[in-house]
A and B are shown apart, each in its own frame.
Chain A
Amino acid sequence: MTRQLSKTPAPAQPPHFDVHRIREDFPILHNKVHNKTLVYLDNAATTQKPNLVINALRRYYGSENANIHRGVYLLSQLATDLYEQARRKVQRFINAAESREIIFTRGTTEAINLVASSYGRTNFKPGDQIILTGMEHLSNIVPWQIICQQTGAVLRVAPFDDNGELILDEYERLFTPRTRFVTAVHLSKSLGTINPVKRMIAIAHAHNVPVFIDGAQSIAHGPIDVQDIDADFYAFSGHKLYGPTGIGALYGKARFLEEMPPYQGGGDMIASVTFEKTEYNELPYKFEAGTPNIAGGIGLGAAIDYLTSVGLPNIVAHESRLLEYAHSRLSGIPGLRVVGTARQKGGVISFVLKGIHPHDIGTILDGDGIAVRTGHHCCQPVMDRFQIPATARASFALYNTIPEIDALADGILKVIGFLGS
């Protein structure tokens, strides 16, 4: 996922990877928007879904639907098996040691809230410190602020430089005997920066501090091995890796999860209940109260199957090629400034145009069927750091093509022709 600043033409497509065949798997890519073929470049917000996922959802509701962990009848057993299979797929996908370390959630946001609430409320005391980075998404700031208000703990922010790279020395200097927790984004949604999480975790562990990694953006764009990076917690959302919305997963080391109190109460998370006392269920069910998003879990499993069949190394190679080409095309446009130029970068390119507001860029590109995100990307502190109100952002996925980046570049030139003074 390394970006190079060369101006050379885009390198050849990786072998065994045919983007046109990939595109056949995604029905929405063949839709028209304003009578133009959709050019979908907002993959950091959500990704499109392949037929494999859409069909898994249809099949589940058409012939496999029943509640799980309850019935003695065949259909319930089938649904339970499919759901638990999906859990094992997630386990293998991120190389967790055990499937009971995988907790299904609604998404990354709920996973963060779960850890902040369950771990934080038990372990944080007044004056304790929680370290996060300056490039966090709002959903990895606010749950910790809420827990700080409840416990008297305080946040410490690790800064990043003008390229959007975390300043590792400054991060390390934040550790004190009162540091209790670190939470950090793996791949920044607004800047594209890939943080050196393995190194950050090693530094935290040297101070005996556990670490949560927000993997919402990194999960679909490179292999993740939670044991190799030694993350204590890691979370992601299904819809950012070509799966359904409303489903995600939290990984936590069993020794932490076992000690943590439940996050929500309800069915499935209990072993026995009387009015005097409740015994909680074992992992992972202790953290899964109520009927879960069964179809979502199965759809997520199908998305993982899809990514595995395409091959993550192929995806990484393809997206690096797109990013390299986009940087080279866009940085040649007069008045365009790329925001976020870290050496380690994922397929995200945020930019501003001199004298033209991102919102106008977004509307004019949309007229050509090109979908980009404009705004602060839920990262207002990042915008404040660069003293800009907003950016326009193109973010790439495995189905994007070089001609689509050409369309983006041509669209931007059109915006300048239209609105430039």
Chain B
Amino acid sequence: MSDLRELYQEMILDHCKRPRNFHNLPDANRAADGFNRLCGDKLRVFVKLDDGIIKDIAFEGDGCCISKASSSMMTEALKGKTLDEAHKLFQQFHEVLTGPPDETPDAPELGKLAVFAGVREFPVRVKCATLAWHTLEAALKDEQKPVTTE
């Protein structure tokens, strides 16, 4: 069970059970769909982008605990960030998830998002944690085709 606690940290469980910004965003000017073929997770990320700044961000959909918590915490982390900052944060987030299992990640910029470091012990779940971020990237690029985690 100790390994599972690494994956399902209290903060992740909290965001999974009570996801933040979990709704439609009627005044969004960017949106994209994400789909995880492995488990059937589907989500839609909405962004209100104003002058290169993420003014508002929300998501809808159905997914596992990891993908829901990741989506929820992503929306909290990115509100008010510039496109450039958002992109950098995703890069760091991705590195933490895919780094070597025996190294403690050192990424103070990530803040709360560092709780996802435990996912690196569960390689098949990395896609769950990154689905929202890939979908966000697609929304910011204004891609019409749904992204998948493949």
Contacts and interface: CB of A to CB of B under 8 A. Distances in A.
B52 to A, nearest CB: 35
**Residue from the set B3, B38, B63, B65 with the largest chain A CB neighbour count within 10 Å:** B65
A358 B39 contact: yes
Interface centre among A356, A363, A374, A376 (most CB of B within 10 A): A363
Interface string A340-384: 000000000000000011111001100100000011100010010
Given A357-B64, A359-B64, A419 B13 contact: yes
Given A418-B8, A419-B65, A363 B125 contact: yes
A211 B94 CA distance: 50
Given A357-B65, A358-B39, A389-B39, A363 B122 contact: yes
Interface string B16-58: 1100000000000000000000111110000000000000000
B66 interface: yes
Contacts of A421: 17
A364 B40 contact: no
A375 B149 CA distance: 15
B64 A360 contact: yes
A238 B7 CA distance: 37
Nearest to B40: A389
Interface residues of A, number: 19
Nearest to B63: A357
Contacts of B85: none
Contacts of A356: 65
Interface in A375-421: 375-376, 380, 383, 389-390, 418-419, 421
A374 B7 contact: no
A58 interface: no
B140 interface: no
B128 interface: yes
Contact of A375 (B17, B38, B42): B38
16 contacts: A357-B39, A357-B62, A358-B39, A359-B64, A359-B65, A359-B125, A360-B65, A367-B1, A374-B39, A383-B40, A389-B39, A389-B42, A390-B39, A418-B4, A418-B8, A419-B17
Interface of A: 34, 356-360, 363-364, 367, 374-376, 380, 383, 389-390, 418-419, 421
